[in-house]
């Protein structure tokens, strides 16, 4: 399997019918996967949406360089709202750190995707 394919398997980026950008971390992010995710979002979705749904339920804690790249995603897209799905307290702390570093004030944590989407649609 190619390195590019392995990196892309760590995350997925989709746009939902309602225009919300959904990021799903499927493994512990690495610097390379965070860069690839950032490039994919900037290339395809920049300025096309102001709301993100970030699913961290299958993620691990990213190293510091990956956190910086993830923070840049939000700095460059300047979303109005970010809903974060999580299962572990440590991921909540990490997500708060990233949102603070990106200057995102309107974010909220959820246990279910339905709750998160309901909040984003408001």
* pLDDT at position 121: 93
- CATH number of the domain encompassing residue 14: 3.30.750.24
Is residue 2 predicted with pLDDT exceeding 60? no
* pLDDT at position 87: 83
Q: What angle do CA 91, 121, 94 make, to 5 degrees?
A: 10
Work out the percent of the chain whose per-residue pLDDT is above 90. Answer: 34
DSSP state of 112: S
Q: Answer yes or no: are the C-beta atoms of 77 and 41 closer than 8 Å.
A: yes
> How far is CA 33 from its chain centroid?
12
Residue 101 or residue 50, greater confidence:
101
* pLDDT at position 5: 46
pLDDT in tens, 41-79: 877 776 665 799 999 988 888 888 888 888 988 888 889
Question: Which residues constitute the domain of residue 74?
Answer: 3-121
Report helix, strand or coil for 47. coil
Is residue 1 predicted with pLDDT exceeding 70? no
Q: How many domains, in total, are found in the chain?
A: 1
Query: How many residues in total does the chain contain?
Result: 122
């Amino acid at each position: 399997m190619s390195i590019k394919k392995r990196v892309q398997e760590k995350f997925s980026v989709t746009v939902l019918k309602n225009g919300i950008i959904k990021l799903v971390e499927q493994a512990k992010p690495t610097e390379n996967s965070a860069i690839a995710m950032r490039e994919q979002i900037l290339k395809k979705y920049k300025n096309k949406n102001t709301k993100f749904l970030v699913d961290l339920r299958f993620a691990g804690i990213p190293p510091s360089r990956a956190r910086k790249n993830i923070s840049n995603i939000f700095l460059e897209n300047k979303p109005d709202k970010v809903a974060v799905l999580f299962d572990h307290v440590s991921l909540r702390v990490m997500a708060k750190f990233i949102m603070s570093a990106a200057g995102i004030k309107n974010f909220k944590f959820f246990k279910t995707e339905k709750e998160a989407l309901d909040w984003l649609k408001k």
